[in-house]
A and B are shown apart, each in its own frame.
Chain A
């Protein structure tokens, strides 16, 4: 007894001392001392909530969109895609030419741009970046593939650089407008080597101040920034510091926003978003994401889905509106085709396909010979029950969608085996074709993204499609930069996907961003994911 009490006292003092001092509990618009210069922005400090902490955050290497949210403001790109006009505007490149054969892009670079570490930005820097991205040692997971048939970069003079391609590649400018192909300081990359992701240096309106993996990322305003594209509304950043924290569990995001732990929060769950929309203290910035909508791919090589009638029956038997209303509380539009409705090249005619019609679905199944002979509630044919294997991933509400689909199809006499698998396992299963159904969605502003899913040799060809005509359309559309020709081709592609019933589109992805109503200037780029932090500020200081 005599020894226990002092021990406990000691322990509690140790415990008290071990934790960091409390940050202010009220909405954090803390004024910081700021030395005066020509332009004095309001000293604002924001906390921005991200979701899953990615294991790597080097945009040249890693593929997650999470990393792009802060890093789009740390790096500049050669060109920018204006979400309003759909046109490419100058960024680090003031102007550019495309050769006749569309295999050489010449960029005339802006002068007077410096990286955060003082290194000047020039053509050599561009070459260094592209070589880094395409070098096999880097094992780039996304950036490399965005460059397509890239061959080499030629430094024409100090501020002129030419990219040479093996064949025409229409999405090149679109790729060059994204953070994954942002320009990093060659000095920093060489200095830090494999640790570069912890010490990133770009030319953007914010510097990469501090990063503790899985914990937080701090961006600090770059006072020397003077070369933003015209789509930025300010010359330098309004906020002084933005701290990014991770909120992997969806249920924690809205509470964090509501208690003032964060001013901005990404990917708020639908039912929380609906509640916040009705509140005066918060706003929801709902951003539709272009790209491939959330779809369930039907494995056309595995019975019974090798029968197009069965696939179409599934499509007719899916009440997508119910899914969107129930699980997404109508915060997303229903998807009717493989491309999200706000993607360039979207073909509106896909809306005419597969309106919810369970009678038609039942008729198709009957005609295909699937009848419930043993009265167990599941249709069968030649002794085989109509049971489908569905593999789901744990994010994006896929488990709930899977359950609802299973319930809807159960009424049609179709059985479903649902399982949740990890992402590597899903890739394995889909690659081997062990699935009947597997969902996915991927964002991207160029419709060439369809090639990843529907080309017979594509990595994500989870429908196991082998359609030579479709392959041809996809390849031609990737090569030609004539927008009208591309549009026509993509139109045919989308309609073909629907006719053949190789996938069930469910919904277009909408990123529900929540923010305190004091936040202003929160707008997102053409990819839908990435905010232009230069314009973000908080109005009232408490």
Chain B
């Protein structure tokens, strides 16, 4: 029937979902870092006698048109995709966090101007904004990372501002002010640490968004040079052989989905755990 009242959730790290998500992310990072010893042939080496073999005869995940192992390319591609995601996130946080903090903390004109700018940027659909940025910056995986980072920054600024506003209203901040601390000190010692939690949670969710849209850009052919094993680009490569060799697109898409899922689940759990009651 209908559950009218809430139940109490288990502690964060004890929930199997979160463990699984963390494990997958760790696996992804590890795989990317260890690509060289695990798949020493590299992502470019072709073997035309082994073209479009299914998983089994073609290695664990099959081969693509040029006979390259899909697993090999996934591992090497992890560097590109996860690297692009990390760089994008770094840019989003690096730009969004200070902006939002300043707006929330200093208020007044600072808040007015910056938040207007943020709203204007948020009016652009995220992917389209990223696409426009790539048009300006030119093709390349770094451009894609910068583009999605830029597109993600305004949302981050918004969240940062709300977090700061929440904390600023707390009694201990008033107390610190009354005791006569400088604004910067209060920001650094009281506001930031307490606002950190929702910011970290949002960062995890944003990572999902950045990966999704960054790979969308490479899928559309706007990023990497041909042959780059970025997961989005791999998805695009396999489109022509969907019927004969669905594994060429299938596995990169799966890897991408699981990674985004993991990021989202972690973000969700963190937000739930840290939400004030």
Q: Do chains A and B touch in the complex (CB under 8 A)?
A: yes
* Residues in chain A within 8 A of chain B (CB atoms): 250-251, 269, 271-272, 275, 319, 322-323, 325-327, 392, 394, 399-400, 402-404, 406-408, 410-411, 417-420
**Interchain CB contact (< 8 A) of A400 among B44, B66, B221, B244:** B66
A96 to B131, CA, bound (A): 58
A406 contacts B44, CB within 8 Å? yes
**A319→B139 CA distance, assembly (Å):** 30
Among candidates B66, B139, B242, B243, residue contacting A326 with C-beta atoms closer than 8 Å: B66
- Which residues of chain B have C-beta atoms less than 8 A from A392's C-beta? 226
B interface residues with partner A (beta carbon < 8 Å): 44-46, 48, 51-52, 65-67, 139, 221, 225-227, 239-244
Smallest Cβ-Cβ distance to A326: which chain B residue: B48
Given A404-B66, A420-B221: A251 and B240 interface contact (C-beta under 8 Å):
yes
A325 and B51 alpha carbons, distance in the complex (Å): 10
Closest to A403 in B: B227
List chain B residues, Cβ under 8 A from A417: 225
CA of A275 to CA of B45 in the docked complex: distance in angstroms? 27
Which of B226, B227, B241, B243 is packed against the most chain A CB atoms within 10 Å? B226
Task: Tell me if B48 and A271 are in contact (CB < 8 A).
Answer: no
* Cα separation A319 to B244 with both chains bound (whole Å): 25
Asked whether A251 and B239 contact (CB < 8 A) given A399-B226, A403-B44, the answer is yes
Cβ of A394: which chain B residues have Cβ within 8 Å of it? 221
Interfacial chain B residues near A322, Cβ < 8 Å: 48
- 5 A-B pairs with the lowest CB-CB distances in the bound complex, closest first: A407-B46, A399-B226, A326-B48, A322-B48, A403-B227
**In whole angstroms, what is the CA distance A378 to B240 when docked?**
32
Residues of chain B within 8 A (CB-CB) of A271 are 52, 240-241, 244
Among B221, B226, B240, B244, the residue within 8 A (CB) of A418 is B226
For B240, list chain A residues within 8 Å (CB): 250-251, 269, 271
A selection of 26 A-B contacts at a CB cut-off of 8 Å is A250-B240, A251-B240, A271-B240, A271-B241, A271-B244, A272-B243, A325-B48, A326-B48, A326-B65, A326-B67, A327-B65, A392-B226, A394-B221, A399-B226, A399-B227, A400-B65, A400-B66, A402-B226, A402-B227, A403-B66, A404-B66, A406-B44, A407-B45, A407-B66, A419-B225, A420-B225
> Once bound together, how far apart are the Cα atoms of A131 and B203, in whole Å?
67
Q: Report the nearest B residue to A407, measured CB to CB.
A: B46
Nearest A residue to B67, CB-CB:
A326
B46 touches A404 (CB 8 A): yes
Q: Are B51 and A326 in contact (CB under 8 A)?
A: yes
Residues of B within 8 A of A402 (CB): 226-227
By the criterion CB–CB under 8 Å, are A410 and B225 in contact? no
Identify which of B45, B51, B226, B242 contacts A251 (C-beta below 8 A): B242
| Bound Cα distance from A400 to B248, whole angstroms | 14
- How distant is B134 from chain A, measured CB to nearest CB, in Å? 14
Please pick, from A275, A408, A419, the residue contacting B244 in the complex, using a CB distance under 8 A. Answer: A275
B218 to chain A, nearest CB (A): 12
Are A403 and B46 in touch, CB under 8 angstroms?
yes
Instruction: Name the CB-closest residue of B to A408.
Output: B46
If A407-B46, A410-B44, A410-B45 touch, whether A418 touches B227 (CB-CB below 8 Å) is yes
Q: Hey, which chain A residues are within 8 Å of B52, CB to CB?
A: 271
- Which one of A250, A400, A402 has the highest number of Cβ atoms from chain B below 10 Å of its Cβ? A400
Specify which of A251, A275, A325 lies most central, judged by the most chain B CB atoms within 10 Å of its CB. Answer: A251
The residue in chain A whose Cβ has the minimal distance to the Cβ of B50 is A326
Q: Contact between A404 and B225 (Cβ–Cβ < 8 Å)?
A: no
A404 CB contacts on chain B under 8 angstroms:
46, 48, 66
Shortest CB distance A271–B (Å):
6
Q: In whole angstroms, how far apart are the Cα atoms of A408 and B244 in the complex?
A: 25
Instruction: Report the bound CA distance from A410 to B243 in whole Å.
Output: 31
7 other contacts beyond A325-B48, A327-B65, A392-B226, with CB at 8 A cut-off?
A: A251-B242, A394-B221, A403-B226, A403-B227, A410-B45, A418-B225, A420-B225
Q: How far is the CB of A105 from chain B (nearest CB, A)?
A: 46
With a CB–CB cut-off of 8 A, which chain A residues contact B225? 417-420
Closest Cβ of chain B to A448, distance in Å, is 33
Instruction: Give the docked Cα–Cα distance between A98 and B243 (Å).
Output: 56
Contacts of B51 in A (CB 8 A): 326
How far apart are the CA atoms of A275 and B46 in the complex, in Å?
A: 24
Q: How far is A319 from B46 in the complex, measured between Cα atoms in Å?
A: 12
- Are B227 and A406 interface neighbours, CB within 8 A? yes
Smallest distance from the beta carbon of A228 to chain B beta carbons, Å?
39
Task: List residues of chain B with CB within 8 A of the CB of A325.
Answer: 48
For the complex formed, measure the closest distance between the CB of A518 and the CB atoms of chain B, giving whole angstroms. 23
The smallest C-beta distance from A377 to any residue of chain B, in angstroms, reads 9
- Chain A residues with CB below 8 A from B45, complex form: 407, 410-411
User: Which chain A residues border B46 with CB–CB below 8 Å?
Assistant: 403-404, 407-408
Interfacial chain A residues near B139, Cβ < 8 Å: 419
Give Cα distance in the complex from A408 to B45, angstroms.
8
User: What residues on A are CB-neighbors of B67 within 8 Å?
Assistant: 326
Given B44, B48, B226, B244, which contacts A420 in the complex, CB threshold below 8 Å?
A: B226
B158 to chain A, nearest CB (A): 28
| Complexed CA–CA distance, A275 and B48 (Å) | 19
- Provide the residues of chain B in CB contact with A403, threshold 8 Å: 44, 46, 66, 226-227
> What is the minimal beta-carbon distance from B231 to any residue of chain A, in angstroms?
17
